[in-house]
């Protein structure tokens, strides 16, 4: 390797890492989080290694451990970084607002597909709670009975979660898609209904998401 001998390396990173401010500290939780996000975006869930992260930051591997407990903590950090909600606060049309919150949520996660795989495995960070809070407010504003609000929130959560996790895993991978396609050969005989309807061929993910969401909201909407 290049930087082996001697070893009196300055605090300046000599390498390829993202480096800008001369007086910014090399290692902070924020920089670690941001770099982890970049790396996850570029190379996926398994692509993030502590060694790689350190290299990208221009630091030694073990230096990271001063700032984060372990690799799990890096995941938590990256996840919460990505899930911050920036959106309009004003609400007028409750149903439109809900749709907006959920579509934004889904879009955010799909921009960083690893987050969809990660979120269900971790505790709810503050940025998720913000989104849930907003949902709750919309539902109440929309006249959903108090006794129904919790069930409604969870069903919406479940729906976005399922849709996004599914999309994140089936979408980008060509291998999966081919496998499904291949399976369609036998579909005709074994699975008549879903064969005929072309269930697995549908790739209008956004439209399908929206239509299913409408089903759900139809069911939730206050009946009078």
66 vs 92 by CB, closer to DNA: 66
Give CA–CA dist 208/8, Å, rounded: 58
Give CA–CA dist 20/50, Å, rounded: 22
Give CA–CA dist 96/102, Å, rounded: 10
* Among residues 1, 5, 20, 123, the one that binds its own copies under rule CB under 8 A: 123
Task: Output the smallest distance, CB 163 to DNA, in A.
Answer: 29
* Among residues 87, 120, 143, 172, the one that binds its own copies under rule CB under 8 A: 120
Q: Beta-carbon neighbour count of residue 42 at 10 Å?
A: 11
4 vs 21 by CB, closer to DNA: 4
- The DSSP result for 44-57, as a single string, is -GGG--HHHHHHHH
Calculate the dihedral angle through the C-alpha atoms of 40, 204, 195, 217, rounding to the nearest 10 degrees: 100
Binding mask 1-40 for DNA (x = CB under 7 A): ---xx-xxxxx-x-----------xxx-------------
Q: Among DNA, its own copies, none, what does residue 193 contact (CB within 5–8 Å per kind)?
A: its own copies
Of the candidates 222, 28, 51, 44, which has an alpha carbon nearest to the alpha carbon of residue 138?
Answer: 222
End-to-end CA distance of the chain: 73
Half-sphere exposure of 118 (CA within 13 A, CB side): 28
For the record, the structure tokens of 118 come out as: 């990660």
Residue 136 as a binder of its own copies (CB under 8 A): the answer is yes
Region near its own copies per CB under 8 A, out of 22-30, 58-66, 80-88, 185-193: 185-193
Beta strands in the chain (DSSP E): none
* Among residues 13, 26, 149, 171, the one that binds its own copies under rule CB under 8 A: 149
Cβ–Cβ under 8 Å, residues 68 and 32: yes
Task: Output the smallest distance, CB 129 to DNA, in A.
Answer: 26
Rounded to the nearest 5 percent, the helix, strand and coil shares of the chain are 70, 0, 30
Q: Angle, to 10 degrees, between the axis of helix 146-170 and the axis of helix 174-190?
A: 100
* Among residues 86, 162, 189, 206, the one that binds its own copies under rule CB under 8 A: 162
Residues between 32 and 91 with contacts to its own copies, criterion CB under 8 A: none
Region near its own copies per CB under 8 A, out of 12-20, 24-32, 87-95, 195-203: 195-203
Q: Among its own copies, DNA, none, what does residue 198 contact (CB within 5–8 Å per kind)?
A: its own copies
Residue 67 as a binder of DNA (CB under 7 A): the answer is yes
Residues that bind DNA (CB under 7 A): 4-5, 7-11, 13, 25-27, 48-52, 59-63, 65-67, 70-72
Residues that bind its own copies (CB under 8 A): 117, 120-124, 126, 129-130, 132-133, 136-137, 140, 146, 148-155, 157-163, 165-166, 168-169, 175-176, 179-180, 183, 187, 190-194, 197-200, 202, 208, 211-220
């Amino acid at each position: 390797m290049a930087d082996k001998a001697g070893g009196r390396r300055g605090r300046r990173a000599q390498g390829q890492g993202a480096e800008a401010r001369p007086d910014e500290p090399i290692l902070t939780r924020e920089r670690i989080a941001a770099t982890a996000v970049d790396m996850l975006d570029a190379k996926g869930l398994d692509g993030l290694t502590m060694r790689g992260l350190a290299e990208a930051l221009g630091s030694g591997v073990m230096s990271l451990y001063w700032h984060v407990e372990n690799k799990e903590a890096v995941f938590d950090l990256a996840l919460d970084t990505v899930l911050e909600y920036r959106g309009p606060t004003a609400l007028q049309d409750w149903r439109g607002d809900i749709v907006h919150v959920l579509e934004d949520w889904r879009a955010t996660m799909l921009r960083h597909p690893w987050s969809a795989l990660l979120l269900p495995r971790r505790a709810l960070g503050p940025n998720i709670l913000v989104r849930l809070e907003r949902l709750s407010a919309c539902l109440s504003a929309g006249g959903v009975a108090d006794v129904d609000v919790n069930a409604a929130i969870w069903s919406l959560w479940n729906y976005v979660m399922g849709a996004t996790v599914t999309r994140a895993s089936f979408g980008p991978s060509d291998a999966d898609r081919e496998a499904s396609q291949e399976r369609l050969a036998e579909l005709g005989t074994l699975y008549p209904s879903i064969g005929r309807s072309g269930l697995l061929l549908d790739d209008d993910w956004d439209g399908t998401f929206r239509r299913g969401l409408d089903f759900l909201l139809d069911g939730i909407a206050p009946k009078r």
